[in-house]
Structure 1
């Protein structure tokens, strides 16, 4: 019998997983509990882990293949192109300080993100997570119905453009010119509401750094709807705020969660190892099926 326990950290989303050492082999019994908790809570926190890059990757691969992003290769661990180093200090201020879903500007955005905390600041540096199931479900019925026929255009070039100067600077310091690197990347369309392939629930799918507009609407109409959706996704009641501790490992579901890494800790040091799990193209089933996960 496993000593594993799942302890919710908020009513909206998130749970802490206790009684497991991820540096060791995970039994099928424990994996079944973890997988179920991931789909129920969308964010899982594994405190007090002592992991090598290989061990973090072994755990992450239980959820799927890991992604390698060519524009991030200069920021990865040597011999581990799947592991990005997020390192900020007095010489390198934090970059993106905006709510988002990882890499939504690609045709097949990542299923999830696995982040391991090596060094955390004494004050600040929290990550906020917002439940996109509830962001959708809390809208009025007429608005929910309207969204089902709409898609948003996501553009990588916006996320790495002049509006996000810190991201641009980080790439340029590593020898990558984002204007040149992303010149051939075409925008992609994703539904404003996506169906989670496991739970069957519908979730709002908008990522402000990437979304340029809603397809088929005027600029005024598009921005008005996007502003409404962004505001609805920021309700305190659907947000969990995670205060990092050294050796926390956190995994979240990009299909049902947005996150914000608060850039309030400069000039303190923050060092993380990040891995993305390969996902599928977002889709919407017109008939909603609650699969009781």
Structure 2
């Protein structure tokens, strides 16, 4: 019988390391069950020392669902693998996005999770921070929690890829994509500010600053004030795990109940990652 993985919690807020598994090999049903249970308990899983091919990474990610192919990212994917985005920064390409967010919240069905594999890591810098949105919601006062249950936010892809994020726009233009015209046909979507996790039933704050334009039903002033409060609150130190990358690390995180921030502090050092998104469902709130 294949031994079960050893799960080691890495912070009180969220995150756990998974030891004793080789993701390049076929895993038993019991091992997969242990990984799934750990994923739903800890929201971020760290698999150290996994030196995988793109195909092996895809096999792992597909266990959790269908992989997403983003049309606008195709010029930045591994040849022959449209599901695998290459995140490559160095002296010629400084790191860009440096904001708390959850992946692709501007789509009607945002990704369930993200799998990121470290191929080249800088000796210093390049950490990724993760924040627990279950804790963010649950630690708010009762009156504020109740108010948030009635509110929805508008998420707009055009905002996330707009002029506010110049480095991202520059990267797309270098690949032959004009962000203004490419994303003009994407309609904004509405998601609840608090969503129910479809597996655990636990509620989580669902915000993503690059995408959200406003909160429905509030004035601009009220919307900005509430969003600013929630953004600051979500980044509270007690909710955060900071991951220091090592080559071969593979991380899986749950976009339904976390935010993350890739710290852009390592220029001009090189950092190379392979990223895959797992298809999710439409965020909902169960009252």
How big is the shift at 1:228?
A: 1.1
Q: State the match for 2:271 in structure 1.
A: 270
Structure 1: how far apart are the matches of 2:89 and 2:48? 22
Q: Which runs of 4+ in 1 moved over 3 A?
A: none
Structure 1: how far apart are the matches of 2:53 and 2:181? 34
How big is the shift at 1:231?
A: 1.1
Aligned length: 286
Q: State the match for 1:31 in structure 2.
A: 32
Q: State the match for 1:226 in structure 2.
A: 227
Q: State the match for 2:138 in structure 1.
A: 137
Q: State the match for 2:159 in structure 1.
A: 158
Q: State the match for 2:67 in structure 1.
A: 66
How big is the shift at 1:4?
A: 1.2
Correspondences of 1:102-117 after superposition (within 5 Å): 102-117=103-118
Q: State the match for 1:236 in structure 2.
A: 237
SS of equivalent residue, structure 2 residue 83: strand
Q: State the match for 2:124 in structure 1.
A: 123
SS of equivalent residue, structure 1 residue 170: helix
Q: State the match for 1:82 in structure 2.
A: 83
Q: State the match for 1:199 in structure 2.
A: 200
| CA RMSD, 1 decimal | 0.5
Structure 1: how far apart are the matches of 2:4 and 2:69? 34
Structure 1: how far apart are the matches of 2:220 and 2:70? 32
How big is the shift at 1:3?
A: 4.3
TM-score (norm 1): 0.97
| Structure 2: stretches of 5+ with no match in the other structure | none
Structure 1: how far apart are the matches of 2:106 and 2:51? 33
How big is the shift at 1:158?
A: 0.5
Structure 2: how far apart are the matches of 1:154 and 1:3? 40
Q: State the match for 2:215 in structure 1.
A: 214
Structure 1: how far apart are the matches of 2:139 and 2:41? 18
Cα displacement string for residues 83-106 of structure 1 (whole angstroms, at most 9, x for unaligned residues): 000000000000101000000000
SS of equivalent residue, structure 1 residue 281: coil
| Structure 1: stretches of 5+ with no match in the other structure | 287-293
